[in-house]
Amino acid sequence: MWIDTDRAFQEFCHHALTQTTELTIDLEFQGEGRYAPLVCLVQLGLRQLFVAVDPFRVNLTPLAALLTASHIRKIFHAGSQDIALLRRETGAVPVNVFDTQIAAAFLGYGEATGYAALVQRFTKAVLSKKQQFTDWTRRPLLPEQVEYALNDVRYLFPVYDGLCQQLEQHGRLDWVLEACADATAQAVRGREAGQEYLKIGKLASLSQQELAVLRELCQWREMTARARNRPVGTILHDDVLRQIAYTLPKSEAALRQMRGTNNLSRESIVEILDTIQQALALPESEWPEAVAAREYDPTLDGLATLLGAVLRLRAGALDLAPSLLATRDELLRFAGWVLQGSPPDGAGGFPLLQGWRRAVAGELLLDLVTGKSLLQIAPTEPGAVRIVAAGTLPSP
């Protein structure tokens, strides 16, 4: 069903709000050559009704009531970007989210299982790929294009049903819902204004004042990209920004001597030079903190690697994707706490020690680093290692 009027969309949203407890959602968007992706189509599914909504003609605000309705489960596949765009378009953050890609990772299907693979697994249907390069900005869309888009919400229901059945059998449905809530919060967490420069990388060689210049240049680039509706990187490359902050050119001639500045307009040159001077005039109290170079620490790295191996063993035993438990950076931070002589015994903002992760693996690591459990070489075990309680090993 195609919806391209506000009245029809409002009627659908009212019907869904009062008649359903499950809603499948998918978006078609186009980000190429734009500062932010353009939402081109919104597909929504009830068990017996599937609609494609034209956001070029329809105000999407009524969707907010569905997204925030706690009695309706919102079902996505790999929905992080969809959720962020829905937040932008409706002002609402979805609650009671179920992401089939996240759920599949809890059942041994891999860390980033594709939608088509899950559809084939649970329905035996093979989804056509003929329309995957559709230009979704064009109107009118062909019937086969709309049908292709609707399949992205139509088959979500049998995939969701199959995954839920398996999750309930394994007692993991609550784990998935918690992980989906975490992913939703991460998806809508915006970048803090003025912190864009921290994403540039290789900042340890810059002084605090040079970092202040880089920070202001990054904000100029962000505002310019937004105003021109262009990708940030097409305004000026990260490496060029960092080099400008390091060399602090004072004239157009000096700036144009640098690689990557040939395509800058005269207007942009003037704005960049003005931004540099304004940043240099900032008082020291407004300079960012220096970025310390991270030195390689073999002890820290080795401990983090060992802890990571334990987590992989644990994930393998439970048929979980290892990335669900902890990232490399989190393991390094955990290892740092251990080496400081004060292993973390509370959540402390560390995901591994919160919620389902703590029960599944966090307590295990705490027991290892506090000596309550030990690693034992066991050639017949998966990974050739087993974990045993301290005191159960025979004396040498």
Does 113 share its domain with 35? yes
The two counts, helices (H) then strands (E), for the chain are 17, 8
Is residue 293 situated within a structural domain?
no
Which has the closest alpha carbon to 12: 92, 55, 66, 56?
Answer: 66
User: Both tokens of residue 368?
Assistant: 């290892």
Cβ neighbours of residue 210 closer than 8 Å, sequence gap 6 or more: 245, 246, 248
The HSE-up count of residue 8 (CA atoms within 13 Å, CB side) is: 12
Is residue 395 situated within a structural domain?
no
Does 120 share its domain with 169? yes
Does 201 share its domain with 156? no
Is residue 83 situated within a structural domain?
yes
Does 142 share its domain with 255? no
Is residue 291 situated within a structural domain?
no
Number of domains in the chain: 3
Q: Domain range for residue 267?
A: 196-286
Question: What residue type is 340 in one-letter code?
Answer: Q
Size (the chain), residues: 396
The tens place of each residue's pLDDT in the chain, 396 residues long, gives 999 999 999 999 999 999 999 999 999 999 989 999 999 999 999 999 999 999 999 999 999 999 999 999 999 999 999 999 999 999 999 999 999 999 999 999 988 999 999 999 999 999 988 888 899 999 999 999 999 999 999 999 999 999 999 999 999 999 999 999 999 999 998 767 788 898 898 899 999 999 999 999 999 999 999 999 999 999 999 999 999 999 999 999 999 999 999 889 999 999 999 999 999 999 999 999 998 877 788 999 999 998 998 898 888 888 998 889 998 988 988 888 888 876 555 556 678 888 899 988 888 888 888 888 888 887 877 667 778 887 765 555
CATH at 40: 3.30.420.10
Which has the closest alpha carbon to 184: 81, 114, 111?
Answer: 81
Does 11 share its domain with 156? yes
User: Both tokens of residue 341?
Assistant: 């002589």
Distance CA 305, CA 14 (A): 52
CATH at 262: 1.10.150.80
Is residue 33 situated within a structural domain?
yes
Does 54 share its domain with 180? yes
Does 381 share its domain with 282? no
Instruction: Catalogue the E-assigned strands of the chain.
Output: 2-3, 22-30, 38-45, 50-53, 73-76, 97-99, 373-377, 385-389
**Residue where one domain finishes, among candidates 161, 187, 213:** 187
Is residue 228 situated within a structural domain?
yes
**Residue where one domain finishes, among candidates 254, 286, 318:** 286
User: Both tokens of residue 104?
Assistant: 């599949």
**Residue where one domain finishes, among candidates 233, 257, 286:** 286
